Amino acid sequence: MKIMRPVVLAALATSLTTPALADRQETIYLNPFAGYQLFDDKRDLSETGTFGVGVEYRFRPHWSVEALYSRADADRKYVDGSSDFEELRVDGTYYFAGPDAVWNPYVSLGAGHAKFGVGDTISYTTAGTDHEETRVNVGAGFRYNVSDGISIRGDLREFHGIDESTFDTMVSLGVSWAFTRTVSAPQPARAPEPTPAPMDSDNDGVPDNRDQCPNTPAGVQVDSQGCPLDSDGDGVPDHRDQCPDTTAGATVDETGCEGVTETIETIELRVQFPTNSSIIDATYDNEIRQVADFMEEYPETSVEIAGHSDSIGEAEYNRLLSQRRAEAVSNRLTSVLGVDPGRVSAVGYGEAEPIASNDTPAGRTQNRRVEARIQVRR
């Protein structure tokens, strides 16, 4: 039976290397059959009945592999007596329809090993001679599904004996029992869920879970705890510190300068700017002049021009726009109305200091303002 080993291995390799792309059915058929065998004239054997059984593994809807055993007892044509015949073979089958179809036509190709029994010695090619041979076969047939587990199979097959170039034919009919299971395809490994980036509500580069100053104005440099930098340690953050090199331990005002500056008067300037503009029309000089007149009357005072905006748009853009508008008023005070530049500063607060709700048009109008904060140092 040495010839059977490579045949079986080839069949197994075919089934194992078929890709599994989805859930599929695997069916094992038990195929008993009876048939009629016609032998090549060289064998000097009469045609005769045959029987056998096969075990078929349908590993894909259209493909199967089957191992079969068959046997026959044939009379010799020209002398008295008979010869036993038996064969083991493996066939590969292609079905033209799926296993759920009523009619399953197929074609098949296989190889096997046949043995002819002992009889009177005549010639090498007769069944009366004790010998073995390798045979290949090609066949066609059908499977008719009577129910989920029972089917009828008809088969017509031509065998070619390799050693002596003989050709035998067999037709068979049988009843098959099917045993089916569903094989689930392996599920692809799920990619791990991406770790969400930590929230940073004020966009200062420090995540909220470590940010001890959660409402830092946009663009302000912060330390590792999310708080504005204070390089000279005077308690006034750098972005508002007008005296960045204050002596350590000195008392400073809200601008970071030594001494305490108090705001003694706040004058709201009714200055209107074109949209997204910081240009002041000359018609507002009288409005600004009241600040210059106050400072002339009280020469010990200084003024902070504070620009404010509503919350429409990006916070950083609003801060920069309010800064430019505050600087425009400050420049008007110094260059046109003659106030000493040393007594005037400009700060843009953007949307950080609203005096009304930004949820209504009227509130936003109130928040878009310029104030003159008259200050005196104590």
Distance CA 345, CA 372 (A): 10
Who contacts 6 (Cβ-Cβ below 8 Å, separation ≥6)? none
Q: Is 251 exposed, middle or buried (0-12, 13-18, 19+ CB in 10 A)?
A: exposed
CATH number of the domain within which 327 lies: 3.30.1330.60
The pairing of strands 370-377 and 344-350 is unpaired
Question: Is residue 8 classed as helix, strand or coil in its secondary structure?
Answer: helix
Residue 209 belongs to a domain: no
Identify the domain boundary among 139, 156, 183.
183
Cβ–Cβ < 8 Å for 69, 53: yes
Q: Which 8-state DSSP code applies to residue 240?
A: G
Who contacts 302 (Cβ-Cβ below 8 Å, separation ≥6)? 261, 295, 343, 344, 345, 374, 375, 376, 377
> What pLDDT score was predicted for residue 140?
97
> What pLDDT score was predicted for residue 104?
95
Same domain, 42 and 159: yes
> What pLDDT score was predicted for residue 23?
63
Residue 295 belongs to a domain: yes
What is the torsion angle, in degrees rounded to the nearest 10, for the CA atoms of residue 95, residue 99, residue 100 and residue 105?
Answer: 30
Same domain, 157 and 285: no
CATH number of the domain within which 151 lies: 2.40.160.20
Same domain, 20 and 136: yes
Q: Could you tell me what percentage of the chain is helix, strand and coil, using 3-state DSSP and rounding each to the nearest 5?
A: 20, 40, 40
Residue 255 belongs to a domain: no
Q: Averaged in consecutive runs of 10 residues, what is the pLDDT profile of the chain (378 residues)?
A: 41 42 78 95 90 96 96 84 89 95 96 78 47 94 95 97 92 96 76 78 80 79 82 78 77 71 78 79 87 90 90 91 92 92 92 92 87 83
Same domain, 125 and 25: yes
Same domain, 171 and 311: no
Range of the domain at 8: 4-183
> What pLDDT score was predicted for residue 5?
44
Distance CA 115, CA 134 (A): 9
Distance CA 192, CA 194 (A): 6
Number of domains in the chain: 2
Q: Which residues pair with 107 in a beta bridge?
A: 94, 140
Residue 324 belongs to a domain: yes
Selection from 264, 244, 245, 261 nearest residue 253 by Cα:
261
Question: Taking the complete model, does pTM exceed 0.75, yes or no?
Answer: no
Residue 254 belongs to a domain: no
Write the single-letter amino acid at 351.
Answer: E
Residue 95 belongs to a domain: yes
Residue 343 belongs to a domain: yes
The CA distances from residue 226 to 223, 255, 321, 340, in Å, are: 5, 21, 24, 37
Q: Which 8-state DSSP code applies to residue 217?
A: P
Cβ–Cβ < 8 Å for 288, 269: yes
Residue 92 belongs to a domain: yes
Who contacts 191 (Cβ-Cβ below 8 Å, separation ≥6)? none
